[in-house]
Each structure stands twice: as C-alpha cells, then as structure tokens.
Amino acid sequence: MDKKTVTTISYLSRLKIDDEKEEKIINDLGNIIEFVDQLNDVDTSEIAPLANPLEKTAKTRKDIVTAKNLKKELLDVAPSANEDYFLVPRVVE
C-alpha cells in the first residue's frame, strides 16, 4: 500500500483524502491488507466462491405494478429539484 495506490482507490471511491490524514490512511490500509493476507494460509483452489449464504437465484415475481408513484415524495427529499427533475451543477456547456 503506497501513496499511488491510495490515490487510485480514493479516486475510484470518489473520496478526497485530506493531506494531514494521508499518512495514517496509507498505514491503516496497509495493516488491514496485511491482516487479511492470512487468507492465503488455506488452499482454496478447488473451492467455489460463496457470495450469499442462501445461494439461491434471486426470485422473480409476476410482472404486476405494485410500487406507487412516489415522484413528488422523492423529489421533496432531494437536496435540489424542480417539479420533474433532480438538479445538479451544469454538465453541458
């Protein structure tokens, strides 16, 4: 774990790391990765990954509309919206 890696993953995470915290974060992340490296102590070459304890395919349901249209309620909780849309800073010049 080094400065370059932390810069890359903080970009991927859309997080800015404050300069004064950067050293500690590099150190913490390095320690955590070292800690989870214990996983290499066991041979898993023949083992299928387990993503979910139920191992069931997500169920499908009948194609019937059940959700109510909450447009107004959802726009009401947005930080910025007009009657129809969420508003964000201009993206097209």
Distances (CA, A) of 88 to 17, 76, 83, 85: 23, 15, 14, 9
Interaction of residue 7 with other proteins, rule CB under 8 A? no
Distance CA 89, CA 84 (A): 16
Which tokens go with 55? 């191992």
Least gap, CB of 84 to other proteins (angstroms): 14
Burial of 22 (0-12, 13-18, 19+ CB in 10 A): middle
Least gap, CB of 73 to other proteins (angstroms): 4
Burial of 91 (0-12, 13-18, 19+ CB in 10 A): exposed
Least gap, CB of 3 to other proteins (angstroms): 13
Identify residues 23-82 at the interface with other proteins (CB under 8 A).
24-25, 28-29, 31-33, 35-42, 44, 47-54, 56, 58-59, 61, 66, 70, 73-74, 76-80
Contact residues for other proteins, defined by CB under 8 A: 5-6, 8-10, 12-17, 21, 24-25, 28-29, 31-33, 35-42, 44, 47-54, 56, 58-59, 61, 66, 70, 73-74, 76-80, 86, 88-91
